[in-house]
Amino acid sequence: MIYQLGNKMNKNMSKPQRINNAKVLSIGNITTGGTGKTPGVIYFTQTLQNEDYNIGILSRGYGGSLVKENNILSDGKNILLDSNQSGDEPWLLAANLPGIPVAVGRKRYESAMLLQKNFQTNLFILDDGFQHYALERDVDIVLVDATNPFGNRHTLPNGILREPLDALKRSDIVIITKADIADPPSVEKLTEELKSLSGHEMIFRSSHRPSALVKLPDTEDQVIIGKQKTKKLDLLKNESVWALSAIGNHRAFEATLHSLGVADVESISYRDHHEYDIRDIENILKRVEPYDFLITTEKDWIRLRKFRDHFSVLKNFFYVKIEFTILHNEVLLKEGLKAKLLAGKTN
């Protein structure tokens, strides 16, 4: 009750600011972590990249040392901050989106002014913005994890909901993520519930499909110029693997590995956004043999890069590259999104 009261006060006391001469698209969720938001932000940015917009991304920079400031993380050509300064997820966005400036900082209106001044940005994609009440937006996309939509349906701290479920009425589009690895009847039931909760029919389903295995780059500049060494996914077929992650939904990561035909999965998991230290690395290496397969996520790879020399003893250490894919009615989603951006909010 106290958490919900605080959230309501925060919302009511916020005076949303409008960015002049620009559109704002928010991509967020109603729960804490695990919905696959970062691949979703990459997908929607690339979807709109060929439209008549100068796109920029606004991220809070959760976990970064510069979260209280406002800084340009990427100018679209070079990454200007390290992941410790920016936070993992915005750094990952910058590394995957050439040509797209990214700014980080708690006050996202000020970040927007930085991008508008330097890059004439006229479409801002607000990363994890559903609860950022201080900025007006034209479209709200909310991602819901099919494998764990709402937890126990309680808000923090007793559950995983950031807001009560009726907040979905603010959404314009809802994407059910990881729908391909959830039980089909439960996805159907969730779809109908989301239509009722949101009051609209713009409910779509997506998957987070692995596209490749990527070796840890030998040098830092390979991150930027895209020279990662990749292997085909069938390398893991019938193998026993270690699954290493510090993400919001480790079970979904395990399910992804099983979908690739692995024989067995042993897990090494930490809490979401865990900052690995040398003791963690030593413990991992005590469990994993040099020729074992150690597989991690792209987000974890960012935090593990600094231990590159320690991991050099492993012959089969990869992260899984994930591709966000809309399963049905992708044309309807894209055209609907473009129309909603042009129209803007009407309420």
Specify the residue for token string 């750094």: 91
Phi and psi dihedrals of 206, rounded to 5?
-140, 165
Whether the ω angle into residue 98 lies within 30 degrees of 0, i.e. cis, is no
292-328 per-position pLDDT tens digit: 999 999 889 888 988 988 999 999 999 999 899 999 9
How many residues can be counted in the chain? 347
Count of CB atoms situated within 10 Å of the CB of 207: 22
Cβ(343)–Cβ(336) below 8 Å? no
Cβ(160)–Cβ(94) below 8 Å? no
CATH architecture of 2-207+325-343: 3-Layer(aba) Sandwich (3.40)
Mean pLDDT of 242-267: 93
B/e letters for 161-171, b = 16+ CB within 10 Å, e = fewer, are bbbebebbebb
pLDDT band at 24 (very low <50, low <70, confident <90, very high): very high
**211-322 fold:** Rossmann fold (3.40.50)
CA distance 93 to 73: 10
2-207+325-343 shares its CATH topology with 211-322 = yes
Mean pLDDT of 86-90: 89
> For residue 221, what pLDDT is reported?
47
Cβ(238)–Cβ(278) below 8 Å? no
113-154 per-position pLDDT tens digit: 999 999 999 999 999 999 999 999 999 999 999 999 999 999
pTM over 0.75: yes
Per DSSP, the residues of 128-185 read T-TT-TTB--SEEEEEEETTSSSTTSPBTTTSSBSS-GGGGGG-SEEEEETGGGS-HH
> For residue 226, what pLDDT is reported?
46
Domain boundaries, the chain: 2-207+325-343, 211-322
Mean pLDDT of 79-100: 89
Q: Who wins on pLDDT, 280 or 69?
A: 280
